[in-house]
């Protein structure tokens, strides 16, 4: 995610975006930290997220590869959002992700 980050699009955004990626054997939590024009990734669960996205591994790959429609994945319940919906809606703008 840091390599695909577009600081000019994030502007003055400061947010922790938590990705809770689930699987039958458990889950992995990753935090994307956007602050002061930078992007880092952390597994520090003590960070307070502005938004948490809960989804399966396959759905995560669909999103980051541009092969899934974010709105449809949310509407069908494959992605669950907890927290600031505006931040969630803008995540794709902050990164140079492939387009299907």
Question: Structural domain of residue 55, as residue ranges?
Answer: 2-94
The yes-or-no verdict on residue 16 having pLDDT over 80 is: yes
Residues found in the chain: 100
Q: Is residue 70 part of a domain?
A: yes
Within-domain flag for 45? yes
pLDDT in tens, 89-99: 999 899 998 77
* Average predicted confidence (pLDDT) for the chain: 94
- CATH number of the structural domain spanning residue 33: 3.30.1050.10
Task: Give the tens place of pLDDT for each residue, 77-86.
Answer: 999 999 999 9
Above 70 in pLDDT, residue 100?
A: no
What is the per-residue pLDDT for 89?
93
Residue 100 domain-assigned?
no
Does residue 84 lie within any of the structural domains?
Answer: yes
pLDDT digits over 19-58, tens only?
999 999 999 999 999 999 999 999 998 999 999 999 999 9
Query: Looking at the 3D structure of the chain, how many domains does it have?
Result: 1
User: Contact, 15 vs 53, CB < 8 A?
Assistant: no
| Residue 90 in tokens | 């803008």
Q: Cα separation of 95 and 7, whole Å?
A: 8
Domain assignment present for 8: yes
Query: Considering the domain boundaries, does residue 39 fall inside one?
Result: yes
- Domain assignment of residue 99, yes or no: no
Span 25-35, pLDDT tens digits: 999 999 999 99
Closest to 92 (Cα-Cα) out of 69, 75, 76? 69
Task: Identify the helix (H) or strand (E) that includes residue 93.
Answer: none
* Residue 30 counted as domain residue: yes
């Amino acid at each position: 995610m840091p390599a695909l980050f577009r600081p000019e699009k994030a502007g003055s955004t400061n947010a922790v975006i938590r990705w809770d990626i689930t699987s039958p054997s458990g889950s992995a939590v990753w935090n994307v930290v956007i602050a002061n024009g930078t992007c880092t990734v952390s597994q520090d669960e003590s960070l307070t997220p502005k938004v948490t996205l809960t989804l399966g591994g396959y759905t995560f790959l669909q999103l980051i590869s541009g092969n899934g429609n974010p709105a449809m994945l949310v509407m069908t319940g494959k992605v669950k959002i907890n927290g600031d919906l505006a931040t969630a809606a803008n995540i794709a703008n902050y990164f140079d992700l492939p387009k299907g």
